[in-house]
Structure 1
Amino acid sequence: MEWTIHQVATATGTTSRTLRHYADIGLLAPSRVGPNGYRYYDDAALRRYQRILLLRELGLGLSAIAGVLEERTDEVTALREHAGLLEAEAARLTRLAASVRETIRRTETGEELDVRTSFEGFDASRYEEEVVQRWGRDAHEAAQRNWRELGEEGRAAHAAEADAIGRGLAAAAARGADPGEREVQDLLRRHHAWVSEFWTPGAEAYRGLTAMYVDDERFRATYEAYGPGTAVLLRDAAEVFAQRELV
């Protein structure tokens, strides 16, 4: 049995454009293309697409997904690994939701936050270490200096722009937008400019920065607060932006 590209897109909540993009980059080819140009997907293609979607849910970028799919791992073993990772992520989200609910309860009752629970696991010094390791001490010090020089009004404007970008990406993620589409790339252009107020990253540095938004659960929570898939869309769209604009 085969399914058309429209049927697959509808069933998975994505778009035909995304599926065509996956074919263009060699990630998911249709099982065949009919004489009329229609693309069809058989059982093997659907199984591969399910793995792609699972890996995206786990926060992997498209290039990383391609690498995983090239590994010689049998399908059942791979799916068991994915299931375990998803269960671990579900447990993490449950703990995060419990923390948020406790903050809501304390806010409604007028209680003070408990620093031991509200900020459990948070270590601001880790950010400095990561920035220095990835991009050097000069980048970290320049960012800190530029932040201080913004002043209160500048910081408020910077925060407002971050919020606008986050809401825009969340709306795009909710409708299954392709990372390369114009509206998403316009948001990425604003995001890169937003980052560049402190430090201007090149292509590789920008990829590394946006990967952290997904790989580090604290950064990811910031963007996922706008809506599911926001952080992943930002990272995937940054890959496209870097290829087009930062080479």
Structure 2
Amino acid sequence: MEWSIQDIARLAGTTSRTLRHYDDVGLLKPSRTGSNGYRYYDQAALVRLQRILLLRELGLGLPAIAEVLEGQRDTTQALRTHLSWLREERHRLERRIQSVETTIHKLTRGEALMAEEILDGFDHSQHEQEVVERWGREAHDESTRKWAALSREAQRERMAEHERVAQALAEAHVRGEDVASDTVQSLVRRHYTWTSFFWTPNREAYINLGEMYVTDARFAAVYERHAEGAAGFIRDAMRVFAEKHLA
């Protein structure tokens, strides 16, 4: 089966203009173009569009989406991974909805609130297995201990520092700075220092972390919200830093 560009635009809740732009930038090519100039899309194109829309919902810009798609050639496996993320997010949202409903109910009735009920669904321990698989149990436990030892104010400042560095790197990307420039490398050193508070990566690990900023949609979304292409820029800058300074 195949669908016209008008059909796809209607079903996806987008516009023909957007789909033509995806074609122009090489993100989504039609399966064929008719003699009348109309674009048509087959099943494979439809599946690729689904992946694009899922990544767009995570906040990724088109350059980052292109890199993610390029890095994940196995479409079925990529969709399985994304489905897992969606199910985790659904479960987390369901818990948060229940938590907020319980809070409203108890506040309305003047009943005592339980901390476990109020904060249910806001923990991040569900990522433990993934962290252990990627970097090892020691790295996970070390970072968890260090984070737990911080005061709430110190935790907020730690995250604020990450946000400042990410924003500054994105701005450097927008200005057209070279990833090897002193300005950019000074920012990457701050990023490495921030990372090393939790876990000290060697050269290979730091380079791999940078790759994840592009190929893992969850990481890419964090950096792409500052500027399109920021994730790839930061990855390249991290590689320069690692190759120059890390063993």
Structure-1-length-normalised TM-score: 0.53
SS of the aligned residue for 1:197 comes to helix
1:187 equivalent in structure 2: 187
The CA deviation at 1:94 is 4.0
Root-mean-square deviation (CA, aligned residues, Å) is 3.2
CA gap of 1:124–1:187, structure 2 versus 1, over 3 A, is same
Q: Deviations over 1:44-65 (max 9, x none)?
A: xxxxxxxxx97xx9xxxxxxxx
Q: Which residue of 1 aligns with 2:146?
A: 146
Match of 2:52 among 85, 90, 111: 90
Larger Rg: 2
Match of 1:230 in 2: 230
Q: Once the 2 structures are TM-superposed, how far is the Cα of residue 89 of structure 1 from its aligned partner?
A: 5.4
Q: TM-score when scaled to structure 2?
A: 0.53
Question: Which residue is 1:242 aligned to?
Answer: 242
Structure-1 residue corresponding to 2:211: 211
CA displacement at 1:176 relative to structure 2:
2.6
- In structure 2, the CA distance between the partners of 1:94 and 1:190, relative to structure 1 (3 Å rule), is closer
Pairing partner for 1:115 from 71, 93, 102: 93
SS of 1:220 mapped into structure 2: helix
| Cα shift at 1:88 | 5.5
Distance 2:185 2:48 in 1: 29
Following superposition, the deviation at residue 93 of structure 1 comes to 4.0
1:172 maps to which residue? 172
Rounded Cα–Cα distance in structure 2 between residues aligned with 1:180 and 1:84:
39
The gaps in structure 1 that reach 5 residues or longer are 1-52, 58-82, 98-113
Runs of 4 or more, structure 1, over 6 Å off, are 83-86
**Cα distance in structure 2, aligned partners of 1:232 and 1:155:** 27
Once the 2 structures are TM-superposed, how far is the Cα of residue 198 of structure 1 from its aligned partner? 1.2
Higher RCO (CA < 8 A, seq sep 6+): 2
Cα distance in 1 for residues equivalent to 2:165 and 2:209: 16
Query: What CA distance in whole angstroms lies between the structure 1 residues aligned with 2:46 and 2:220?
Result: 20
Q: 1:86 and 1:223, CA in 2 relative to 1: closer, same or farther beyond 3 A?
A: farther
- CA spacing shift, 1:125–1:184, aligned 2, 3 Å: same
Q: By how many angstroms is 1:197 displaced? A: 0.9
Alignment of 1:7-156 (within 5 A): 87=49, 90-96=52-58, 115-116=93-94, 124=124, 127-156=127-156
The 8 Å contact of residues 211 and 235 in structure 2, kept in 1 or not, is answered as: yes
Asked if structure 2 preserves the Cα contact closer than 8 Å seen for 1:173 and 1:228, the reply is: no
Gaps of 5+ in 2: 1-24, 28-44, 60-91, 98-122
Query: 1:131 deviation in Å?
Result: 2.1
Question: Quick one: percent identity of the two aligned structures?
Answer: 41
SS at match of 1:179: coil
Following superposition, the deviation at residue 163 of structure 1 comes to 1.1
Cα deviation, residue 134, structure 1: 2.4
Q: How many residues align?
A: 150
How far did residue 168 of structure 1 move?
0.4
- After superposition, the Cα gap between the structure-2 partners of 1:176 and 1:85, relative to the gap in structure 1 and judged at 3 Å, is farther
| Distance in 1 between residues matched to 2:143 and 2:202, nearest whole Å | 15
Alignment CA distance shift 1:235-1:86 (3 Å)? farther
- Distance, in Å, in 1 between the alignment partners of 2:193 and 2:47 is 34
Query: Which residue pairs with 2:41 in the alignment?
Result: none
Distance 2:125 2:145 in 1: 17
